[in-house]
């Protein structure tokens, strides 16, 4: 009798576990994979989870048909995706010098309004901007990129000449005057703008990370050396940092929509050495534009798990792309699933795109 009760308990326990791990969905007219994912997971970009669990009966993820019954695996919940503006991404500006204030007003990008300049804090950088933009130009610049071009730099910063009073120990140097080691004899002119950068770590065969630290504007061009003002700052700028041509970074208008283009790759590097990867850590992936990756693309980070009846795709998080090179792309981790760990080599696949 005890043996019978034990066996019955085990069978019921297995049944409970199976119910806990899976739901079922019967397709109705008008359903698509991303709508189903949006319904069950609150995130349409998790459609590959459902596709992978049912790919033996889905010939093409574009097409599903009424009456089909799909398994819906449970997935971990997402962490909050609010951008952490207070974690080093807010620059404080004090009205200590009217000249600097006026120069900032006339030289920084349009999103830096008069109201934000005169306030104690000015938000200079955010992945989330006005609704029509997928990300800001500053977000793309701050992410940096990977390149094999070691001749990127034009010159270097010789020294910091002037710092805004009260901000000498600040982690940023917005508004500082700096001397650079190039002048008119090198093709430098007043009002020219350059990105300030230093070299990060080597990433295998792909090259080295370019850490963009800010933007400077030439205000006095000498023959052999010039004076510049730091008009954008993402990291502390120091003597010895290099500067390079500043081509206006592209951004894209619109919101990413689910897509089923078959573009896959992997994480190849993180910008910073962090014990825990979190939103919005900067990450580098392959492929890049040569592999048809586009600005604003949303990639799902995942791992595969073998099951007795079916293989499962376990979602780990999401990435949005803000910079593309030929072989690589840069992006921000916008979502991390609970109780998961994101690491080098994790697989990725395209799940969302702006403009189809």
Classify domain 2-73 at the CATH superfamily level: LysM domain (3.10.350.10)
**Is pLDDT at 113 greater than 50 in this prediction?**
no
Does 264 or 85 have the greater pLDDT score? 264
Query: 272 and 283 in contact (C-beta within 8 Å)?
Result: no
* Tokens encoding 203: 């990433």
Percentage of residues of the chain with pLDDT beyond 90: 54
CA angle at 52 for the pair 46 and 53, rounded to the nearest 5°: 100
For the chain, the C-alpha Rg in angstroms (whole number) is: 25
Whether 2-73 shares its CATH topology with 257-353 is answered: no
Could you give the count of Cα atoms lying within 13 Å of 289 in the half-sphere of its Cβ? Answer: 9
> What are φ and ψ of residue 314, in 5° steps?
-100, 110
The stretches of the chain forming alpha helices (DSSP H) are: 2-21, 33-41, 47-53, 98-107, 114-118, 137-143
- 136 to 64, 113, 242: CA distances (angstroms): 37, 15, 23
Query: For residues 103 and 95, is the Cβ–Cβ distance under 8 A?
Result: no
Asked if residue 230 lies in contact with residue 275, where contact means CB atoms within 8 angstroms, the answer is no
pLDDT at 119: 30
Q: Which residues of 335-344 are buried (b: 16+ CB within 10 A; e: fewer)?
A: bbbeebebee
What is the residue extent of each domain of the chain? 2-73, 91-242, 257-353
Question: Higher confidence at residue 188 or residue 162?
Answer: 188
Range with lowest mean pLDDT among 37-51, 55-69, 124-138, 253-267: 124-138
Tell me how many degrees the CA angle 105-126-99 measures, rounded to the nearest 5: 15
Give the integer Cα–Cα distance in Å for 64 and 70.
10
Highest mean pLDDT among 120-134, 154-168, 326-340: 326-340
**CATH of region 91-242:** 2.40.10.410
What are the structure tokens assigned to 181, written together? 């080691």
Summarize pLDDT for 10-66 with one digit per residue, the tens. 334 434 333 346 789 999 999 999 999 999 999 999 999 999 999 888 989 989 999
Q: Model confidence at 165, in pLDDT bands (50, 70, 90)?
A: low
Element (DSSP H or E) covering residue 126: none
- Identify which of 255, 241, 249 has the alpha carbon closest to the alpha carbon of residue 143: 249
Residues 6+ away with beta carbon under 8 Å from 181: 155, 156, 157, 158, 224, 225
Q: Which residues contact 55 (CB under 8 A, 6 or more apart)?
A: none
Q: Are strands 282-286 and 264-270 parallel, antiparallel or unpaired?
A: antiparallel
What φ, ψ does residue 55 adopt, rounded to 5°?
A: -70, -15
* Whole-prediction pTM: 0.81
CATH topology (fold) of 257-353: Thrombin, subunit H (2.40.10)
Buried b (16+ CB within 10 A) or exposed e, 106-125: ebbeebbeeebbeeeebbbb
- pLDDT score, position 356: 64
Higher pLDDT, 89 or 341: 341
What distance in Å separates the CA atoms of residue 266 and residue 284, rounded to the nearest whole number? 9
């Amino acid at each position: 009798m005890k043996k019978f009760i034990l066996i019955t308990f085990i069978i019921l326990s297995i049944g409970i576990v199976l119910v806990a791990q899976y739901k079922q969905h019967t397709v109705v007219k008008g359903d698509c994979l991303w709508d189903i994912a949006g319904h069950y997971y609150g995130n349409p970009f998790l459609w590959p989870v459902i596709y992978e669990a049912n790919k033996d009966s889905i010939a093409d993820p574009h097409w599903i048909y009424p009456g089909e019954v799909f398994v819906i695996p449970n997935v971990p919940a997402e962490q909050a995706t609010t951008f952490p503006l207070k974690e080093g991404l807010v620059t404080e500006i004090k009205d200590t010098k009217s000249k600097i204030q006026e120069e900032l007003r006339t030289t920084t990008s349009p999103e830096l309004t008069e109201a934000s300049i005169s306030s104690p804090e000015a938000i200079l950088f955010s992945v989330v901007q006005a609704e029509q933009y997928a990300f800001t130009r500053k977000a793309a610049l701050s992410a940096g990129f990977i390149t094999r071009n070691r001749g990127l730099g034009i010159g270097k910063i010789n020294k910091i000449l002037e710092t805004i009073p009260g901000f000498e120990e600040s982690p940023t140097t917005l508004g500082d005057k700096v001397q650079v080691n190039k002048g008119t004899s090198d093709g430098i002119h007043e009002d020219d703008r350059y990105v300030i950068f230093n070299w990060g770590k080597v990433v295998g065969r792909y090259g080295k990370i370019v850490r963009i630290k800010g933007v400077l504007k030439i205000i006095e061009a000498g023959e052999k050396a010039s004076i510049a003002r730091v008009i954008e700052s993402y990291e502390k700028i120091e003597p010895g940092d290099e500067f390079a041509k500043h081509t206006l970074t592209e951004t894209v208008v619109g919101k990413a929509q689910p897509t089923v283009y078959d573009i896959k790759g992997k994480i190849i590097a993180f910008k910073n050495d962090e014990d825990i990867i979190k939103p919005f850590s900067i990450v580098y992936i392959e492929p890049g534009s040569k592999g048809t990756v586009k600005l604003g693309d949303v990639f799902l980070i995942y791992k595969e798990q073998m099951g007795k009846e079916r293989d499962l795709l376990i979602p780990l998080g999401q990435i949005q792309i803000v910079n593309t090179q030929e072989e690589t792309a840069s992006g921000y981790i916008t979502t991390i699933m609970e109780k998961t760990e994101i690491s080098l080599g994790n697989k990725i696949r395209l799940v969302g795109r702006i403009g189809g």
